[in-house]
Amino acid sequence: MVALGSLFAGDADTWAHLVMHVLPEATVNTAFLVAGVAGITFVLGVSLAWLIAVCDFPGRTFFSWALLLPMAIPGYVLGFALLALFEYTGPLQTSWRDLFADIPFPGLGSRGASIVTLSLALYPYVYLIVREAFSSQGVRGLEVAQSVGMSSSEGFFRVSLPMARPWVVGGLSLAVMECLADFGTVKLFNYETFTTAIYEAWFGLFSLQAAQQLSLVVVTFVLLALLAERRARGHAQFVSQGGSATRRRLSLSGMPRVGAVLLCSLVLGIAFVAPTAQLVVWAIESLGTEFEALYGIYIRNSLLLATMAAILILTFSLLLSFATRNSGDAISGILARLATVGYAIPGTVLAVGFFVPVAYLSRFLTGVFFGFEEPTGVVALQGGLLVILLAYSARFLAVAHNPVDSAMLRIRPSIEDAARGMGVAGLSLFPRLYLPILRPALLTGLLLVFVDVMKELPITLMTRPFGWDTLAVRVFQLTTEGEWERAALPSLAIVAAGLVPVIILSRRSH
Contacts by residues 143-147 (CB-CB < 8 Å, ≥ 24 positions apart): none
**What is d(CA 184, CA 374) in angstroms, rounded to the nearest whole number?**
34
Chain centroid to CA 234: 25
Q: Cβ of 335: how many Cβ atoms within 10 Å?
A: 15
Domain 291-469 fold: MetI-like fold (1.10.3720)
pLDDT at 230: 65
Name residue 250's beta-bridge partners: 55
Which residues does 220 contact at the CB level (< 8 Å), separation at least 6? none
Give the pLDDT confidence of 200-248 residue by residue, as tens digits: 777 766 666 777 777 777 777 777 776 776 666 554 444 444 444 445 7
pTM: 0.78
How confident is the model at residue 426, as a pLDDT? 57
Q: What would the pLDDT profile of 47-102 be if each residue is shown by its tens digit? A: 999 899 888 889 888 998 899 889 888 888 998 888 888 876 777 777 777 777 77
Position 120 scores a pLDDT of 94
Top pLDDT among 101 and 499 is at 499
Task: Answer for the pair 280, 67: CB distance below 8 angstroms, yes or no.
Answer: no
Amino acid code (one letter) for 472? A
Nearest one of 73, 123, 121 to 451, comparing CA atoms: 73
Evaluated on CA atoms 260, 76, 480, 215, the torsion sign reads: positive
* Residue type at position 322: F
Report which of 33, 8, 433, 55 is spatially closest to residue 259, judged by C-alpha positions.
Answer: 55
Quick check: 119 and 70 in contact, CB under 8 A? no
Q: Quick one: how many helices (H) and strands (E) in the chain?
A: 26, 2
Dist. CA 68–CA 31, nearest whole Å:
27
| Alpha carbon distance 417, 247 (integer Å) | 39
C-alpha–C-alpha distance, residues 452 and 399, integer Å = 9
Residue 507 confidence class, pLDDT cut points 50, 70, 90:
low
Tell me the pLDDT tens digit for each residue of 292-342: 656 778 888 888 888 899 999 988 888 888 777 767 666 766 777 777 777
pLDDT of residue 263: 93
Please report, as a single letter, which amino acid is at residue 484.
Answer: W
Taking phi over 0 as left and psi of -120 to 50 as alpha, with beta for the rest, 80 belongs to alpha
Give me the pLDDT at residue 470, please: 87
User: What confidence category does residue 436 fall into, taking pLDDT thresholds of 50, 70 and 90?
Assistant: confident
Q: Which of 245-249, 254-258, 396-400 has the lowest mean pLDDT?
A: 245-249
Q: Which residues pair with 55 in a beta bridge?
A: 250
User: Is 137:241 a contact under the CB 8 Å cutoff?
Assistant: yes
Residue whose C-alpha is closest to residue 45's, from 219, 195, 178, 231 = 178
**Residue ranges per structural domain of the chain:** 291-469
| CA atoms of 147 and 157, how far apart (whole Å) | 15
Residue 488: pLDDT over 60: yes
Q: 343 near 175, Cβ under 8 Å?
A: no
CB 397 within 8 A of CB 316: yes
Per the CB < 8 A criterion, the answer to whether 167 and 130 are in contact is yes
**H/E segment holding residue 250:** strand 250-251
pLDDT digits (tens, 9 = 90+) for 142-165: 766 666 667 667 777 777 778 778
Inter-residue contact 77 to 489 (CB < 8 Å): no
Average pLDDT of the chain, as a whole number: 77
Classify 450 as helix, strand or coil.
Answer: helix
